[in-house]
Chains A and B, each alone.
Chain A
Amino acid sequence: MRISTTEPIVELKQASKLFNTGTTALADISLTIDSGEFVTLVGPSGCGKSTVLRLIAGLESPTDGTLSAPALSTHQHSTAFVFQEATLMPWASVFDNVWLPLRLQGLSNQAARSQIHTALKNVGLEDFAQAYPAQLSGGMKMRASIARALITEPQILLMDEPFGALDDFTRQKLNDDLLRWQQERGVATLFVTHNIAEAVFLSQRVLVMQARPGKIIHEMLIDQPYPRTPEFRASIDFLQYCRELSNTLERAMLSEVTPS
């Protein structure tokens, strides 16, 4: 169900992905993401959530079906990806890590300097520009990764379980921050997670997938305006959404138990 009336940022139409190992990772996936939307993909392990992200990022091509991105500019900086591990270059400082996307476009250290410092300030790492990844905590590394992702002012942000390795408290804090950054920029975001509470808190739409082969079996709308506050987490609506999502997920996992 589409909310916006302008052209989608990204549209997958009946996309399938067959790997040369013979595994059908995805079968007949269709989804759209509109400008500024926050969409989450949830599903059991192995359902192909990461593959969907990689298709959209252009790191894989669909074996069948189409991927179109009509509103996406053709510049290389329009898509950003945040991985499960922070994936920072351990030999480079935080500053140099955040510089990377601009550097690959040809921007020198001097030219990019103010942008980098702004990006670091936005994620609260302005004092750590010269630190090295090994000196940072998990949460800080993830912030740096996000700063790097956002520095090119992307139109779509793809995030693959970015907070999975963090403790609850850091995770919640980063959820709050992420929403703030996303709303400030209006960047369309496709977020993958295992965590039901996180999915409900962050997104406007939650797509539930089942595995083998990967399909979207349910779409849930979270009708809660932004900005979302900690109070939302404590509300009845939140609990109901979580319960509904939980039931759907259970169904998704049970339907897997089919001999083939």
Chain B
Amino acid sequence: MKNLSDAMLPILTLMAVVCIWEFGVRWAEIPSYTLPTPSLIFSTLLANWSSLADSWWFTVKITFGALLLACAGGILIASIFSLSPSLERAFFPIAVVLQVTPIVAVAPLILIYVDSTTAALLLCAWIVAFFPILSNTVIGLRTIDRNLVDLFRLYRANPWQRLKLLRAPSALPYFLAGLKISGGLSLIGAVTAEMVAGAAGRETGLASRILEASFRTETPKMFAALMLLVLTGVLIFMLFTALSRLLLARWHGAEPMGHRHRNL
């Protein structure tokens, strides 16, 4: 019961916002090309469902593709760093550079160097998503209960056993925290890159639909595509929060960030 009432509050708030939006726009007679009503956005969404759905799927593919690559790269490099402090010292600054470079500035360059637009979009999204996973996993691999380290030493565990049985599980909450962050960032990276690319044609995502709608002054359609993007971001967040909870449920409070769940 508590879970239900917990969920009701944000849902009610959302409904209230939508109602205020709908009636506010109507009452103030704001034209649809400035700010469309939620009902108009929704009907536009339905009317254009097939093209918007295709673009949505493309954006989702890029987002998750880049995320997968970011996980692979992040975990691999974090493991290497954890085994070799000198490699970490050597290459970590490069990773930081990747993180702080604004993707908006870098995307045009990447689009010039990389021939396939899809590959360029993947790369841009990857750059944005990679660092949080790397840095969180590095910290996680290092932050181990000191006594457990001693215990493993006492029983003379080899490095592989240490990595598999001690460090990897220890790092899991940190990795998942990084994943939650990177999920949203990957979406942002994909969208930003596509905005910069301004690619029309078949293989395009929601960002291109937004651009197209804005150039054709089809404001309700622009909002419809935007709403889909926002929805995707929210779904990604919920997905990884649920994943986190599922994997860490038994730890009960082992999550280093986010709120803890206590069964009272």
Contact = CB atoms under 8 A, between A and B. Distances in A.
Do A and B share a direct contact in the complex (Cβ within 8 angstroms)? yes
Interface of A: 54, 57-59, 76-77, 79-81, 83-85, 87, 89-92, 100-101, 103-105, 132, 134-135
A208 B104 CA distance: 68
B251 A87 contact: no
B169 A92 contact: yes
26 contacts: A58-B154, A59-B154, A76-B154, A76-B155, A76-B156, A77-B155, A80-B154, A81-B154, A83-B151, A84-B147, A87-B145, A87-B151, A89-B169, A90-B251, A91-B170, A100-B151, A100-B155, A103-B165, A104-B155, A104-B157, A132-B250, A134-B250, A134-B252, A134-B253, A135-B250, A135-B252
Contacts, number: 61
Given A90-B254, A134-B253, A81 B151 contact: yes
A100 B164 CA distance: 12
A81 B150 contact: yes
Contact of A85 (B147, B166, B250): B147
B154 A57 contact: yes
B161 interface: yes
Contacts of A76: 154-156
Nearest to B262: A134
Instruction: Determine the main DSSP class of B at the interface with A.
Output: helix
Given A83-B151, A89-B166, 11 more contacts: A57-B154, A58-B154, A59-B150, A90-B250, A91-B170, A101-B155, A103-B165, A104-B157, A104-B161, A134-B254, A135-B250
Nearest to B172: A91
Interface in B157-196: 157, 161, 165-166, 169-170, 172
B152 interface: yes
Output the residue of B147, B156, B166, B252 with the most chain A CB within 10 A: B147
Contacts of B17: none
B16 to A, nearest CB: 38
A105 B166 CA distance: 15
B12 interface: no
Interface of B: 145, 147-148, 150-157, 161, 165-166, 169-170, 172, 250-254
Nearest to A103: B165
B250 A91 contact: yes
A91 B80 CA distance: 23
Contacts of A100: 151, 155, 165
A101 B153 CA distance: 11
B79 to A, nearest CB: 18
Contacts of B169: 89, 91-92
A132 B152 CA distance: 20
Nearest to B253: A134
Contacts of B153: 59
A87 B155 contact: no
Contacts of B156: 76, 104
A77 B224 CA distance: 65
A79 B147 contact: no
A163 to B, nearest CB: 16
Contacts of A105: 155
A104 B152 contact: yes
A54 B153 CA distance: 12
Question: 8 tightest CB-CB pairs across the interface, nearest first?
Answer: A134-B252, A87-B147, A132-B250, A91-B169, A76-B156, A104-B155, A83-B147, A90-B251
A239 B81 CA distance: 57
Contacts of A79: 154
Nearest to A86: B147
Nearest to B161: A104
A91 B148 contact: no
B156 to A, nearest CB: 4
A105 B145 CA distance: 21
A106 to B, nearest CB: 10
Nearest to A93: B250
A65 B147 CA distance: 26
Nearest to B148: A87
Contacts of B161: 104
Contacts of B252: 132, 134-135
A57 B148 CA distance: 14
A98 to B, nearest CB: 12
Contacts of A101: 155
A148 to B, nearest CB: 9
A83 B147 CA distance: 7
A128 B9 CA distance: 38
A115 B150 CA distance: 23
Contacts of B154: 57-59, 76, 79-81
A134 B166 CA distance: 17
Nearest to B153: A59
